[in-house]
Amino acid sequence: MDGTAQLLDIDRRYLVHPLHHPEEHKTPLFVVSAHGAMLRDADGREVIDGLSGLWNVNIGHGRGELADAAAEQMRKVAFASAYVGATNEPAIRLGEKIVKHAYANSSGVYFTTAGAESNEAAFKTARYYWKVKDKPNKIKIISRIHAYHGVTMAAMSATGMSAYHKMFGPLVPGFIQVAAPYAYRWQGNEEPGIGAAEAVEKAILAEGPDTVAAVIAEPVMGAGGVIVPPRTYWDKIQAVLRKYDILLVADEVICGFGRTGSFWGSETFGMKPDIVTMAKQLSAGFMPIAAVMMNQRVYEVLRENSNRNVSFAHGITYSGHPASAACALEVLKIYEEQKIIDRARDLAPHFLRQLHSFADHPLVGECRGVGLVGA
C-alpha cells in the first residue's frame, strides 16, 4: 500500500468528518499543497479551488506573510487569555481595525473561532441586551428557511435546512423559521419583497413581539443556494423590525469582506444590523478566527453595565487568540494595500456576465448571483 492509500485507510479507521458518511468518503479530495487558486492533491493532480476552500480563502493559498505573522506572534507567546481582566495586543488592534471597516455606529467586537460560534454568541448577546433592558421575555430568534447559520445546537436551530435537523432534533426552543424571499417567487407571488416581509411580521405577531429578541439573516443566502433577495426585501424587513423593536443580526460569514462587491454584504443590500457575525474571510482561511460586532446601541449595554449581578457570562478559551488575531490583522492589511474589495467590485460584472452565459444551457434552470458569488 503506498503512502496515500495507507493514510486514507487510517483516515477511514479513525476520523469522523463534518457531515460524515462513509459512502461519500470513498475517494476524498486529498490536498497536500496549494498556491494561488490551485490545489495539488496527493496524486499530483492540479485542480482549481473553485469554492475558495469553504468560501474563506479569498486571497489565495501560499501567502507566506500570513504564515510569518502567525509564527512571529507564536514565538512571543503561546496563548494569552482575553477573558475579562486580561488582554493581548493583536486582539486589541484587530478589534479596532474591524470597527474601522464597519458602519458609522459599529462599536464592540467579541472574538470567536467559527461562524456558528459567532452566531451562538450573537443570540446570547441579543438575549443579554433585552434582559438588561428589562425585557427578559424577548428571547426568540427568527431565521429563514434555506438559511445556513452553522450546526452547533442553537446555530443549527436557526439554520433553515431540514437535512441538518433530521438526526439531531429536537431544535432548541424559541427558534422560528419563516419563508425565504425566493419561496414566495416559487409560489408565483408578484411582489416577493412584500410577501417575504409579511412572513417575518406574521411570525412576530404569532409569537408576540415582546417575546422576539432578534431576526438573523445572511444578506444573501449562501449555502442555501445563493438566494439573492428582491430589491425591496431588506427595506421592508427592517421597517417591520423597527416597528416591533427587534434586533437585526446580519450573518456576514459568507457575505463579508468583499464577497458581494462591498466590504459587507449588508452595505450591498442596505441593511443596518445591530449585530454582525463574521468568520471565514476574516483570516482568509489561514487561521480559525471569527467575530461578533455590535453597534453602539447593543455595545453600550455591555460597556456601561456596572452591575456585577448581570455580567456578560459568555466566553471561550480561544477568544482573541493572539496568533490568530495577528494573522487576521495581516489579512486586513492585504485587503487594504492590495485593494481587494475594489477588485471584487470591479471583477463582479465580468463574473456575472460569464455566469449568465450559461442560462440557455439545457441543464441550467437559473443563474443568479451578486458581486463574486453565484449559483
Give the binding site for ligand PLP (CB under 6 A): 114-116, 119, 148-150, 218, 222-223, 251, 253-254, 279
Q: Please, what is the minimum distance in Å from the beta carbon of residue 347 to ligand PLP?
A: 21
Using DSSP, state whether 215 is helix, strand or coil.
strand
Residue nearest to ligand PLP (CB): 115
Q: Return the closest-CA partner of residue 284 out of 247, 324, 249.
A: 324
Q: How far apart are CA 105 and CA 149, in angstroms?
A: 24
Nearer to ligand PLP, 66 or 279 (CB): 279
Burial of 100 (0-12, 13-18, 19+ CB in 10 A): exposed
Nearer to ligand PLP, 115 or 192 (CB): 115
Those residues with Cβ within 8 angstroms of residue 48's Cβ, 6 or more apart along the chain or in another chain:
37, 38, 39
Q: Please, what is the minimum distance in Å from the beta carbon of residue 253 to ligand PLP?
A: 3
Nearer to ligand PLP, 139 or 151 (CB): 151
Q: Please, what is the minimum distance in Å from the beta carbon of residue 292 to ligand PLP?
A: 12
Q: Could you report how far apart the first and last alpha carbons of the chain are, in Å? A: 40
Q: Return the closest-CA partner of residue 325 out of 80, 62, 56, 52.
A: 80
Nearer to ligand PLP, 73 or 119 (CB): 119
Q: Please, what is the minimum distance in Å from the beta carbon of residue 72 to ligand PLP?
A: 25
The Cα-based distances of 140 to 153, 158, 171, 217, 313 in angstroms read: 15, 10, 13, 14, 19
Q: Which three cell numbers stand for residue 237?
A: 424587513
Nearer to ligand PLP, 8 or 111 (CB): 111
Q: Please, what is the minimum distance in Å from the beta carbon of residue 144 to ligand PLP?
A: 12
